[in-house]
Structure 1
């Protein structure tokens, strides 16, 4: 089984199916926000699923992913702590027993925030983010924090 088939199996085992759509409990924002819309798009398909498990991974620990039922304004919780981040960030899932937060920005780029050490990693698309988190593949270099 190749990597893509393995990850698809993890999602199917968690209850996902092609065409799945659920209604998010996320509240409508007063002003339109693209990051919020991007997070809601993820939640429409994956909201409420618990995918994968914590354990040995390829390079680092593999993680579980727990998709939420609502999108949370991550930037509103922590402010702008990182250099070169001039986009909104909304959380749509937690991972690794709630020690990580998965985020999406205005441009539909995905991030991983590791809670214990408060590092932020810019990953890319949804598929790559799931691959790295679920298989335990290194996230790369953390974004530099503001001083």
Structure 2
């Protein structure tokens, strides 16, 4: 079982999740990647609803394997952190794609508001942030000079931005 924070357990239960749930994982999903365990437990669930959240809008999460590899940002993050990222869900009415790396960190990418953020250093932390409406941390890739963050344009050097070096340190 993936560890879920107490605050989101009722939201997962309302979506049909129960402790010990197991569903088949798409054969194309990377078997040696932690994404397989998440999809095996939560695959097919539509959890939460968009609406007002604590710091920002709360979101829904629709779990399912996707070979989303079209985002340059994800490839760049993977290369910089020397890890593989795999898409395991869409969020906010399909406007965000959620990716898990081999260390269990969750990132989101949105074609609507270009940029990438670290949503959680663990699956549980990410689910709490997304489902309750708490902000993650914007990432600024070395190839970019700015990041769009909740209606603001943050430039390199802004203390709100999480740098790749900080992320590498843990």
> Is the pair's TM-score, using the shorter chain for normalization, greater than 0.5?
yes
Considering only aligned residues, what root-mean-square deviation do their CA atoms show, in Å? Answer: 2.2
Cα deviations across residues 21-41 of structure 1 (Å, max 9, x unaligned)?
001123266xx7x4xx21111
- Assess, with a 3 A threshold, how the Cα gap between structure 1 residues 57 and 28 changes in structure 2: closer, same or farther: closer
Q: 1:136 aligns with which of 121, 133, 136?
A: 133
Q: Which runs of 5+ in 2 are unaligned?
A: 145-170
* Cα distance in 1, alignment partners of residues 126 and 115 from structure 2: 15
- Worse overlay, 102-111 or 136-145: 136-145
- Give the equivalent residue in structure 1 for 2:122: 125
CA contact (8 A) 2:5 2:125 kept: no
Q: 2:89 aligns with which of 73, 90, 93?
A: 93
TM-score, with normalisation over the residues of structure 1? 0.82
- Give the equivalent residue in structure 1 for 2:106: 110
* Cα distance in 1, alignment partners of residues 142 and 45 from structure 2: 32
* Cα distance in 1, alignment partners of residues 45 and 51 from structure 2: 18
Count of aligned residue pairs for this structure pair: 137
1:146 aligns with 2:139: no
- Give the equivalent residue in structure 1 for 2:70: 77
- Give the equivalent residue in structure 1 for 2:58: 62
* Cα distance in 2, alignment partners of residues 8 and 93 from structure 1: 18
* Cα distance in 1, alignment partners of residues 29 and 141 from structure 2: 32
Cα deviations across residues 103-143 of structure 1 (Å, max 9, x unaligned)?
11122221122231221112210000001100110112223
CA contact (8 A) 1:40 1:71 kept: no
Q: Which runs of 5+ in 1 are unaligned?
A: none
TM-score, with normalisation over the residues of structure 2? 0.72
- Worse overlay, 108-117 or 90-99: 108-117
CA contact (8 A) 1:51 1:65 kept: yes
Secondary structure in 2 aligned to 1:15? Answer: coil
